[in-house]
Amino acid sequence: MAPMGIAGLCEPDGRLSQRAIDYYVARAKGNTGLIITCVARVGRQFEHSSEIPLLFHPMVDHRMYVCRLSELADAVHDYGVKLVIQLTAGWGRVSHPWLLKTVEPVAPSRLPCFWDPQIETRELTIREIEDLIESFKFGAEVVSSAGIDAIELHAHEGYLFDQFQTAIWNRRNDKYGGSLENRLTFALEIIEAIKKGAGVDFPVI
């Protein structure tokens, strides 16, 4: 089962609700072999507003989330199903219009936003990139502690991972930009961070 958004099925604090668990268990009962959850966020440094509830994404930035994730993992494992959680670095220049009203969008470089080109992103600093990468390490610890089988990186379709990898959006001249090798540094360092947090043999898709 490919990842699909389950807006409204998360608690306001970022925990999976019982309705969310039931949603995935229903798919497990239907003989799905592997389930990839909706996207989960590793932190609140960016693209987060106290004015907007966290109803759209589960969170993995605190150990309080282990319990509910464990319930999900145990429930689908009972049907012989493998469970993968999808983690995101964020939206970047494709931040949703409702978010642009209250939050400054960030990206690898200063870029016009997709939904409103009159709004430009702010270029992430090296320190901010490093902090974001470190968040994946802790998030991976939470995920592996919950008994989840693998992590998928939300790296498609123009989101922040893709923006770092693509020269048309990544105009940096430091170690995270320029050559293809440098543009892949962000993703590779996140994979390394996940392996530190969850173990070197932990699968990353």
Which residue from 168, 138, 118, 167 is spatially nearest to 45, judged by alpha carbons?
138
Task: Say if 165 falls within a structural domain.
Answer: yes
Task: Say if 158 falls within a structural domain.
Answer: yes
pLDDT at 136: 98
User: Known catalytic residues?
Assistant: 159
Largest CA distance in the chain: 50
| Total structural domains within the chain | 1
Residue with tokens 């702010």: 122
* Gap between the Cα atoms of 57 and 65, Å rounded: 12
Task: Say if 79 falls within a structural domain.
Answer: yes
* Gap between the Cα atoms of 132 and 87, Å rounded: 12
pLDDT at 51: 59
pLDDT in tens, the chain (205 residues): 999 888 778 888 889 999 999 999 999 999 999 999 999 999 888 877 665 554 467 899 999 999 999 999 999 999 999 999 999 999 999 988 888 888 889 999 999 999 999 999 999 999 999 999 999 999 999 999 999 999 999 988 889 999 999 999 999 999 999 999 999 999 999 999 999 999 999 999 9
What CATH code is carried by the domain that includes residue 87? 3.20.20.70
Question: Which parts of the chain fold into alpha helices (H)?
Answer: 18-29, 66-77, 97-100, 126-145, 160-165, 180-183, 185-198
Task: Say if 122 falls within a structural domain.
Answer: yes
Task: Say if 9 falls within a structural domain.
Answer: no
Please give the model's pTM, rounded to 2 decimal places: 0.93
Task: Say if 13 falls within a structural domain.
Answer: no
Task: Say if 59 falls within a structural domain.
Answer: yes
Task: Say if 6 falls within a structural domain.
Answer: no
Residue with tokens 């229903």: 26
Domain hosting residue 40, numbered range: 18-198
